[in-house]
Amino acid sequence: MIYPYNAKNRHLWDQEVHKVQIFVPGNTRAIAYCDGTDDDIAELMAKAEDEGAEPPPLSRRVLKTGREIWTMGEAQPPDFDDDEDEDQD
């Protein structure tokens, strides 16, 4: 089951009740928590499809405690087009 980010679920993560913390690139706050089961992955992918998006890539990092950090999606490359807008005298 996917648990949304809120103070209660953050506390449960801190108490090591939730096994996985879910992030998206560029965001320093978790978007959700889960138990790390195959059903959780299926639920995340189904939510993406419901929103009309292709299932995003999922990267996993295992912590020393055995819990995991999942990051959904890919980081966007920096936009270097801003340099062209500068005045060049």
State pLDDT tens for residues 20-61. Answer: 999 998 889 999 999 999 999 999 989 888 888 787 888 999
Report the alpha-carbon distance of residue 60 to residue 2 in Å, rounded: 16
- Altogether, the residues listed in the chain come to a count of 89
List b or e across 45-67, with b for residues whose CB sees 16 or more CB atoms inside 10 angstroms: beeeeeeeeeeeeeeeeeeeeeb
Secondary structure class of 51 (helix, strand, coil): coil
Pairing of strands 32-34, 3-4: antiparallel
Assess whether pLDDT exceeds 60 at residue 10.
yes
- pTM comes to 0.78
- Under 8 Å CB-to-CB from 13, ≥6 apart: which residues? 21, 30, 33
Domains along the chain? Answer: 3-75 (3.90.1070)
